[in-house]
Amino acid sequence: MKRIYDLTKQWKEEELILPIWLEDGNIKLIDQTKLPFEEKVYIIDTVEELAKAIKNMTIRGSGAIGLAGAYGMLLSAINSKGNKDSLREAGQILKSTRPTAINLMKTVDEIINSIDSYNGNDMLSFVEAKVCEIIERQLGYEHKLGKYGAELINDGDTILTHCHSGALAGAGYGGRALSVIRAAFEQGKDIHVFSSETRPYLQGARITSYELEKWGIPHTLLTDGMSGYMMRLGRIHKVIVGSDRVASNGDLLNKIGTYMHALAAKANNIPFYTATSSHTIDFKLKNGMDAPVEFRDEEEVTHLNGQLITQLSTEALYPSFDVTPNELISGIITEKGVMKAPYLDSLLKLK
């Protein structure tokens, strides 16, 4: 396991904010439900525990749960001494946790497909090498898409982002949306970020602000319903969000509330971008409305910090993602450049 330990040491020296890593034979992750109050490291030693941590949002964000899937396969290889059946079973457990973010399914399937065709006798090293390759690839994407996206940002721009599409939702540089913002800031551009709080988990308030603060990027918090008025006031120049899945026609699945920001942006002639990578495009999905959308427990909406905020009989709904139709999207920022409509053609370049 020397390779992954050496790489982890290197990543930690590169000013990355790692959501998940391997140390002393255990998986460690930052408990994102506790941020920003506590930087608690959560230690995991079974695939079942990791699946639970993905389900209950201890680790979250499409890129990060994709990597959690990869680490889960490595953990299974460690615990089962490289048994193929155990690895396949672990893959099913991991993939069943959250249905919308496609990186999780694609990453686990990539590892399962590769072990199916492996006939050597050191499965552990084989899976370790595959996991390193996946993490390095994703980090590479973050740097590349960050640079392409930063070209869209002008000095003096104010940028709205929703939920948290940053380092802890990705591989550690800046995930997707925040890779663009971080790269623009590192180029010396004078920018200001508006972060919408993102009810009910408050990823925007808790985690986006946490990372922006770490990097010294000026930011202001908005509640989710404020963006339209702020756009009418001329206070928001661009919108950049991440993506949990992009359909082949460019429709975007992202955190619930994204569609409302996109509609407001269209009505106010404000460019709306999603930052993503080829890995998040679901070429089999023709239309975003056909994708599986996770509905979470209504208690996550009726309760705040464990406290009921409605009547006992009040029902609630929590679709965790929504679908933004491609016609509201000004460009899809990827590791190969900014794709423009018609997306059915431009996204094919990423296949």
Q: Annotated active-site positions, please?
A: 244
* Dist CA 59 CA 45 (whole Å): 15
Compare residues 201 and 210 and give the one whose CB is closer to ligand RUB: 201
Q: Which stretch binds ligand RUB (CB under 6 A): 72-80, 83-91, 125-133, 170-178?
A: 170-178
Number of residues that bind ligand RUB (CB under 6 A): 19
Q: Does 61 bind ligand RUB (CB under 6 A)?
A: yes
Q: Which stretch binds ligand RUB (CB under 6 A): 21-29, 84-92, 236-244, 261-269?
A: 236-244
Q: Does 169 bind ligand RUB (CB under 6 A)?
A: yes
Q: Does 161 bind ligand RUB (CB under 6 A)?
A: no
* Dist CA 351 CA 269 (whole Å): 31
Are residues 320 and 256 in contact, defined by beta-carbon separation less than 8 angstroms?
yes
Q: Does 91 bind ligand RUB (CB under 6 A)?
A: no
Compare residues 75 and 171 and give the one whose CB is closer to ligand RUB: 171
> From the CB of 129, what's the least distance to ligand RUB, in Å?
24
Q: Does 244 bind ligand RUB (CB under 6 A)?
A: yes
* Dist CA 331 CA 339 (whole Å): 6
Interstrand relation of 281-282 and 303-304 (parallel, antiparallel or unpaired): unpaired
- The residues near 86 (Cβ < 8 Å, ≥ 6 apart) are 76, 79, 80
Q: What x-and-dash track marks residues 246-285 binding ligand RUB by CB under 6 A?
A: --------xx------------------------------
Task: Work out whether the CA dihedral 230, 239, 242, 291 comes out positive or negative.
Answer: positive
Residue among 106, 39, 118 nearest 77 (CA): 118
Q: Which stretch binds ligand RUB (CB under 6 A): 58-66, 70-78, 184-192, 305-313?
A: 58-66
Lateral strand order in the sheet of 26-30: 20-23, 26-30, 41-44
> From the CB of 159, what's the least distance to ligand RUB, in Å?
14
Compare residues 61 and 149 and give the one whose CB is closer to ligand RUB: 61
Q: What residues numbered 100-129 form the site for ligand RUB, per CB under 6 A?
A: 101
Q: Does 58 bind ligand RUB (CB under 6 A)?
A: no
Rg of the Cα trace of the chain? 20
Closest-by-Cβ residue to ligand RUB is: 242
Compare residues 91 and 99 and give the one whose CB is closer to ligand RUB: 99
* H or E, element range at 322: strand 321-324
* Residue 311: count of CB within 10 angstroms of its CB: 8
Q: What residues numbered 318-337 form the site for ligand RUB, per CB under 6 A?
A: 320
Q: Which stretch binds ligand RUB (CB under 6 A): 57-65, 67-75, 109-117, 213-221?
A: 57-65
Q: Does 288 bind ligand RUB (CB under 6 A)?
A: no
* Dist CA 262 CA 240 (whole Å): 10
Is 338 exposed, middle or buried, given 0-12, 13-18 or 19+ CB atoms closer than 10 A?
Answer: middle
> From the CB of 32, what's the least distance to ligand RUB, in Å?
8
Interacting residue with ligand RUB among 16, 18, 51, 60 (CB under 6 A): 60
Compare residues 91 and 204 and give the one whose CB is closer to ligand RUB: 204
Interacting residue with ligand RUB among 8, 62, 227, 326 (CB under 6 A): 62
Are residues 260 and 224 in contact, defined by beta-carbon separation less than 8 angstroms?
yes
Residue among 246, 239, 245, 175 nearest 208 (CA): 175
3-state helix, strand, coil in the chain (%, to 5): 45, 15, 35
* H or E, element range at 331: strand 331-334
Residues found near ligand RUB in the complex (CB under 6 A): 60-63, 101, 163, 165, 169-170, 175-176, 201, 203, 242-244, 254-255, 320
